[in-house]
Amino acid sequence: MTCFADHPSFARLLERHLPGTFPALSICVIHRGEKVWQDAWGWIDPDDQTMPVTTDTLFDLASVTKLIVETSFLALVEAGAIGLESRLVDIVPEFGRLNPREIASGQDPHTRARLPVEGRFRGMSVDPGDVAFKHLLTHSSGLPPWFSVYLLAADRPPPPPTHVRHYDEARWRSGLRAMVGFPFAGTIGDTIRYTDIGIMLLGEAVARLHGSRLDTAVNDLALQPLGLDSFTYNPMLNGAERDRIAPTELDNHWRQRRAWGEVHDENACGVGGIAGHAGLFATALDVARFGQAWLAGDERLGIGAELRAEANRLQVAGQYRMGLGWMLKADSDSSAGDLYSGSAYGHTGFTGTSLWIDPERQLVSAALTNRVYHGRHDEGIHAFRRAFHDLIVESVDGR
């Protein structure tokens, strides 16, 4: 295994970002089908430093969860159960009951502040029946970026996670009743508006198409076929010990505790911990193995070559360059750095996680951190990601 950790640039990068940007880091790099780097640094408890991070540590994947749910949906498309142009209301009919739907303000997902209605949309409405699954996969549905679903799902936060607590499905049902009536933020298909709400609804569609709860659906459709055993929603409810899980933010807004053993994202937590947009935990190795399956066109994905190529082709450009679920590398200032090729695709998560794939170099990199441990301000995670990915390319190109 190539010893990237001995690279002087990496030592300086760690010194610059650990523990100030994040107290825990786990990475895995696969090059030409070979695992060339797997390591972990930091502490589960950065104050006491009694529990070191290992390569078996589970990290809250945040929006990297979306890739698993979207892959599950694409497997259903490949199987003929649904089409990209099929309408959301065909599977979730209650989404169309409030029609027409007004275009109104949403909320900022990080500050929770209300967002103004764009002037060109004032007084306009849309037909929710026009939202196709392709719109959800490309974030061009016109749905709002975010609403505080967690406050509508129940009248209080869930209790702290334990091994004996049970999943509360009533929270999801209450949240869903609210989501299907939310106003839109713009017209359907006009541009990209990155929306957690859209992927939460996609997750519900995946569950209904599979005939099971979402966690069972993604396990059957995407995780179990690839042997990705570390992936789990609600890790403590599913047997993981707390000291194996990287903690995230001290939530003084809603839960009044540090999120540890439970998903950081309030909406995912508020609906019971299982959602399409966030909630999965995993190791860096399994995240990288998932990326390798896409890169190699692993038949166990259940997605044929034509649909895989479509997923990694530019579908819509705007706030991001989107394929079908995958983000394509930005033309400038990409979190994949400057040296990954222009054909690279991947995704990041708000907790400080990322997966990037460079097909020209046959390169996969998973970097998992808990950068929200210190709060929601950026404080260096973007700079770390860019430098980390550039260092990987410099190293593999010199092998």
Say which residues have a Cβ less than 8 Å from residue 158's Cβ, sequence separation at least 6: 165, 168, 171, 262, 269, 270, 272, 273
Least Cα distance to 284 among 41, 73, 43 occurs for 41
pLDDT digits (tens, 9 = 90+) for 321-341: 999 999 999 999 999 999 999
Domain contains 151: yes
What would the mean pLDDT of 15-30 be, rounded to a whole number? 97
Domain contains 288: no
Task: Report pLDDT for 379.
Answer: 78
- Lowest-confidence pick of 160-164, 180-184, 198-202: 160-164
Over 80: is that where the pLDDT of 2 sits?
no
What would the mean pLDDT of 178-191 be, rounded to a whole number? 95
Over 60: is that where the pLDDT of 146 sits?
yes
> 90: domain CATH number?
3.40.710.10
Residues of the chain with pLDDT > 90, as a percent, come to 90
- Lowest-confidence pick of 114-123, 319-328, 336-345: 114-123
Residues of the chain with pLDDT > 70, as a percent, come to 98
Mean pLDDT over each residue of the chain, to the nearest integer = 95
**Model confidence band, residue 1 (pLDDT cutoffs 50, 70, 90):** very low
pLDDT digits (tens, 9 = 90+) for 26-54: 999 999 999 999 999 999 999 999 999 99
Structure tokens at 137: 């996969």
Domain contains 101: yes
More reliable by pLDDT, 13 or 4: 13
Domain contains 181: yes
Task: Report pLDDT for 200.
Answer: 98
Number of compact structural domains in the chain: 1
State the DSSP H helix or E strand holding residue 257, giving kind and residue range, or none if neither.
strand 257-258
Could you identify the residue written with the tokens 């260092």?
391
Domain contains 166: yes
**Model confidence band, residue 9 (pLDDT cutoffs 50, 70, 90):** confident
Please give the sequence-ordered ranges of beta strands (E in DSSP) within 291-370, or none if there are none.
316-317, 321-322, 327-328, 345-349, 353-358, 363-369
Domain contains 157: yes
Task: Report pLDDT for 199.
Answer: 98
Predicted model pTM: 0.97
Domain contains 352: no
Structure tokens at 366: 């998973």
Domain that holds residue 214: 68-219
Task: Report pLDDT for 378.
Answer: 74
What would the mean pLDDT of 346-374 be, rounded to a whole number? 98
Domain contains 91: yes
More reliable by pLDDT, 243 or 379: 243
Structure tokens at 134: 């392709």
Task: Report pLDDT for 4.
Answer: 67
